[in-house]
Structure formats: structure tokens, C-alpha cells
Chain A
Amino acid sequence: MTIATEGLSKRYGKSAALDSVTFSVPKGSISALVGKNGAGKSTLLHILAGLTRADSGKIQVDGSPPSQDPHWLSGVGFVDQVASMPSNLTPLGLSKVGRDLNSTWRQDKLLLRLDELEIPSGRRISKLSGGQKHAVAVLMALAKEPSVLLLDEPLASLDPITRRALLGIVLSYAYEKTAAILLSSHLVGDLERGCDHIVLLSNGTVLLSQTTEELLGSHFWAANSNENRTLIRRIFNSPSDYFIEMDAKLLVCSSNESLRYQLEARSAGLEEIVIARMTGKRVTAETTKASEA
């Protein structure tokens, strides 16, 4: 595992920003870290990047706990929401600084990528738009060829075309270098086709940490009727089976293939699954027993 945490907790005063967060993502995976504002995404990324200390728990990023060791730092890229950079430099000037500090720096690739995003490498960073600045920060993090890249809301401030182009650059980099990418977002949205892993945070806890293939394979929609709910309850066969009532529909999670046919189910999208898990209440075999008792 390239990124792994176990029982990671962090408090700010009396409130828990992260409460026993346990998840892991393998080498080469593209993971979307999703959750509402204040769910703990930024705190988690800052801890993984070694910029904030956790109160307790185990963390491994790129083979060791986050540190200020130059070797560890060279393998891990991080871009925060502000994407702060020296504004009097140009992207090219900044790249020269990066090249002096990192033996793995790829200025050639950086210039090609800037060109692809139509960002002038000779213009001062202070003269670039907010979205362009953010894109430059991501490209700088890529230029040092990290094996882990942590990006906090990398796409939020970009226009749709640049967003897609930058995501394409990041995804192909990850594929070529088998690098792990963890990027946060309010919603799955643009990441839906790009990511292969979802980590869903809510109030500082992990609600989901699964591959998109597993999620899409196990969730489906059915009509919300008494008949269907009874049928599902009877068929609950594993503790991980559940359904969530979403108005006229039921989001069902079950590996039972025949249940799909009996319910005339329709497949569910990633975004739909994430929203249902964020907003709805799960009914499992356990909660069903408890209400019958």
C-alpha cells in the first residue's frame, strides 16, 4: 500500500477533525477523497503530507511515516487549496529553482504541459488567473516526479476545458509512473471517469473506502415499495448488505445477483452512491433485527 492510515485521529480544541480514520490505497491508484465541506479532507491531506501532526494513529505514505526528511519529501507531492507560490517569479523561473532543489526534476515535461494548458511559461505568476496559478502549482508538484501526489481540490477553480486537460495530464502521469494520486473534491463529478478508488469522509470518519469497480458492482436502484423492502430484508445475507431509502427509490447494496432481477434493478452511478451514503440512513440486517426485537 502506498498510502495507509490506521486509527488516525486529530482534534482541534474540543471538536474532532478526524476520528479513527483507517483506509489504504495501493500503488498506481487514483483515489477520490470526497465529502462535504468540513468533513476533514484538508486536515487528512495535510497530515499525509507531513504538514500537520496527528494526535494518534499510524500513517504510512510512500513507505514511511510523513517526515521532513528530504528523501521522503522528494517522493511526495502536495498542493493545497491556496496553491501558494512566489508571485514575482515566472513558471519557468520557479522551475529553475525546483531543478536546483530536486535531482529528479523534469523541466522538459513541465514546459510541454504548460504549453498544453496554454499557460505562458514566461509570465509572472502574479499576472496569471486564479485557475492558471492552481494548474501551475499542480504541474510543479508533478515536475519532481513524485510517487505519491496529494491534491486538495485541484480542479475547483478551473474552467471545464482546463479541468479536463489537467486531469488528463495527472492521470497519464500516474499511469506511466505507477504513482498513487489522492485528490479531494466536494463531489465525485469530474473524477467519476478518472478515479478507481473512492474514499468518502463524513464528520471526520471514513464512510467508504472501496474501488469504484466494487462500488458499481454492488449497488443498484430499485423502486421504494413495501414489497421490495420486505424482499430485500428477507434476502440480507451478509453484514455488508444494506439499503437506503431515497424518496421513491431504494439504493440497494448486495452481491446477490438474483435479487437484482427480482427487483428489476437499474444500475447506480458513483455520484448517486456517494450522495446516498452522505445523506441517507442505511438499513442493514442488524438494524432490521433491532427494530423487530
Chain B
Amino acid sequence: MNEGKLHFSIDRTTGVPPYLQIVEQAIEALHIGKIVLGDHLPSVSEVVRVAAINANTVMKAYRELEYAGIAKALQGVGTVIVGLPQGANPELFEAYRQRIESLLLQGRQDGLSWETLSHLANSTIRYSKAKEAVNDDNSY
């Protein structure tokens, strides 16, 4: 059992509804293994106090996570993680994170700026996605 590892931060400037930001942050935390099965989500009261948002918003987010089979509210215990989001594989995620990190650090040693690396990463992702889409079309 684990508590206090997850802190939701609500960005008021994006158009994303606050409850959805909480859902997305919880799912992301599960993807990267920041929280695991059996962990507690912070109590509604704590999220309300830290993020200064309405309790209904937090409860709506936690209900969404329940519908998705990810969390379960247990009487007197709190909201517990009971399932992983689809495709979540924290070990694999961590392995890739380390490989990407070492590649980025190598790039820095070779004199590339963070901006250049970020640009390169994004354009490579776009290029690879496009190539994958073309290959998929050709296979029909």
C-alpha cells in the first residue's frame, strides 16, 4: 500500500476539463509505474485542498476510473487501484525510458541542444508514423 506519491496538478489554461486532467494523470502514472496495483489514489479531500477544485470534479474523475475498471472505492479505505489501463506495461516503459535517456545524453555530449533533440524526436515520430501508415495501406 502506498500513499502520497501521486499529486494531481490542474492546468487552468488548457481547454481540457479538470476531471479529465485527473483521469489522464492517473492513467499516465500507471503507465510509467509511478503508482501500481493496490496503491491508493489521494483522498478526495486531499485533492480538493491541494488543487483548490470542487469535490464534485474529483469524484467525477474517480467514478470514470471506476467505470474503466482501474480504481475501486472501498468503504472506509479510500480509492484503490485494482486494474491497469489497456496496454500498460511499466517495466517495458521503464526500459524504453532508459534507452531514450541514454540516447539523449549522448546527443548532448555531441553538442546538440535540447531544442534540437526535441525537434528531432518529434519529427522522427511523425516520419515513422507516416511510413507505418503507408506500409499498412500497401499491405492490402
Given A193-B10, A193-B12: A167 in contact with B54 (beta carbons within 8 A): no
Enumerate chain A residues within 8 angstroms of B10, measured Cβ to Cβ.
193
CB distance from A230 to the nearest CB of B (A): 29
Q: How large is the interface on B (under 10, 10 to 19, 20 to 34, 35 or more residues)?
A: 10 to 19
- A172 to B54 Cα, complex, angstroms: 8
A-B contact count (CB 8 A): 44
Which segment of B45-53, B61-69, B82-90, B110-118 sits at the interface? B45-53
Residues of A near B54 (CB, < 8 A) are: 30, 171, 193-196
B51: which A residues are within 8 A, CB to CB? 168, 193
**B64 CB to closest chain A CB, in angstroms?**
15
Interface size on A, residues (CB 8 A): 18
Distance in Å from the Cβ of B70 to the closest Cβ of chain A? 23
B-side residues, CB < 8 A to A, are: 10, 12, 18, 44-46, 48-57
Q: Lowest 3 CB-CB distances: which A-B pairs, in order?
A: A172-B49, A168-B52, A175-B55
Provide a sorted-by-A list of 6 A–B residue pairs whose CB atoms are within 8 angstroms.
A165-B52, A168-B49, A168-B51, A171-B53, A193-B12, A193-B18
20 further interface pairs, Cβ-Cβ under 8 Å (given A165-B52, A175-B55, A176-B45): A164-B52, A168-B48, A168-B52, A169-B49, A171-B49, A171-B53, A171-B54, A171-B55, A172-B46, A172-B48, A174-B55, A192-B12, A193-B18, A193-B51, A193-B52, A194-B52, A194-B53, A195-B54, A196-B54, A213-B56
